[in-house]
């Protein structure tokens, strides 16, 4: 398995493509937008430059990583002769179901279909295909080239053989795979998102300010980043989407998103990617500042 495809050139997609390419896989990075592909490749190049400056990689490794990535705007063209597809599109169930229907038609019958979803049911996604035994979750953490964890999520029909293959593949990427079952939010977000949501509720109720809440969690709980800053980094729209998936899935009010979060997303204050969330981020320094925290 040395030829793979990644669907989506956004933050997670280009990070996944970077990680596979750096580990000598041939990667087809697919997105419907040429501009997104250009931005994605630019992000990969900048992240490689940071790693090079910190002597994490060599110049040759950087050049080879970039050579290992080809870009496509067509799913049908991009998935020819690949053994694995990792979907990393927007966290929207209808979009993902549509993509997996296309992948099922375009990919060879032995191709494994993985999704980087952080909360949506693998079983539901797999049901859109004729190969539910070959559909699995690979939930990478952001930034993908640096963070070691991958949640491996089995759908109801995911086979033992496919699960074992993806577990071993993840280890080959230098990651630590953890197998979990298919419940809303899986493990990472089932625990993380209620904490973020409660932090937003704490702010909403006037208990303390943004800086104070994050400082308590960093200094008192040894978190490297406060929950409100982390929410900005994840994307407030993504946090809201995950909370809604869990609320719909469990019908438990503890997962209901805080009204402040809902209103911030409506107002377009999405965090780092929009330039403003709980903190303000100037366009010139936001990416550098956030990335540097993980590349020290």
What's the pLDDT tens digit per position in 114-156?
A: 999 999 999 999 999 999 999 999 999 999 999 999 999 999 9
pLDDT for 43-65, tens place per residue?
999 999 999 999 999 999 999 99
Q: Give the residue among 24, 80, 97 at the shortest CA–CA distance from 115.
A: 97
Residues acting as catalytic residues: 118, 139, 151, 189
Tokens 């002597």 belong to: 55
Judge contact between 213 and 202, C-beta under 8 A.
yes
Task: Give the pairing type, strands 69-72 and 84-87.
Answer: unpaired
Q: What is the pLDDT of residues 154-202, one digit of tens each?
A: 999 999 999 999 999 999 999 999 999 999 999 999 999 999 999 999 9
Query: Got the DSSP string for 160-202?
Result: HHHHHHHHHHHHHTT-EEEEEE-STTTTHHHHHHHHHHHHHHH
For residue 138, list its beta bridge partners. 152
207 has a pLDDT exceeding 70: yes
Mean pLDDT over each residue of the chain, to the nearest integer: 94
Q: Are 231 and 258 in contact (CB under 8 A)?
A: no
Task: Provide the token pair at 193.
Answer: 């998102």
Other C-beta atoms within 10 Å of 263: how many?
11
Task: Kindly report, residue by residue over 147-164, the tens digit of the pLDDT.
Answer: 999 999 999 999 999 999
Q: Is the pTM of this model over 0.85?
A: yes
CA distance 122 to 257: 23
């Amino acid at each position: 398995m040395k030829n793979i495809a990644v669907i989506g050139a956004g933050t997670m997609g280009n990070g996944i493509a970077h990680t596979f390419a750096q580990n000598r896989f041939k990667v087809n990075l697919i997105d419907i937008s040429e501009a997104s592909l250009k931005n994605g490749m630019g992000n990969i190049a900048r992240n490689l430059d940071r790693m090079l400056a910190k002597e994490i990689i060599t110049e040759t490794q950087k050049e080879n990583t970039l050579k290992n990535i080809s870009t496509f705007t067509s799913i049908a063209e991009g998935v020819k002769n690949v053994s694995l597809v990792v979907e990393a599109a927007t966290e929207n169930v209808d979009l993902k179901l549509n993509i997996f229907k296309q992948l099922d038609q375009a990919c060879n019958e032995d191709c494994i279909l993985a999704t980087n979803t952080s909360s949506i049911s693998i079983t539901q996604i797999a049901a859109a295909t004729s190969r539910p035994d070959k559909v699995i979750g690979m939930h990478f953490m952001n930034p993908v080239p640096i963070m070691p964890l991958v949640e491996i999520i089995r759908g109801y029909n995911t086979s033992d053989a496919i699960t074992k293959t993806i577990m071993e593949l993840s280890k080959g990427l230098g990651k630590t795979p953890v197998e979990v079952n298919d419940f809303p939010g899986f493990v990472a977000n089932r625990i993380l998102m209620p904490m973020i949501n409660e932090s937003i509720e704490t702010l909403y109720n006037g208990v303390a300010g943004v800086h104070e809440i994050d400082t308590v969690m960093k200094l008192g709980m040894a978190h490297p980043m406060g929950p409100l800053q982390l929410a900005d980094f994840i994307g407030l729209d993504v946090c809201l989407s995950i909370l809604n998936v869990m609320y719909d899935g469990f019908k438990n009010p503890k997962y209901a998103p805080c009204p402040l979060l809902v209103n911030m997303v409506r107002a377009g204050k999405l965090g780092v990617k929009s330039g403003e969330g709980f903190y303000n981020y100037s366009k010139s320094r936001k990416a550098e500042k956030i990335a540097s925290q993980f590349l020290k």
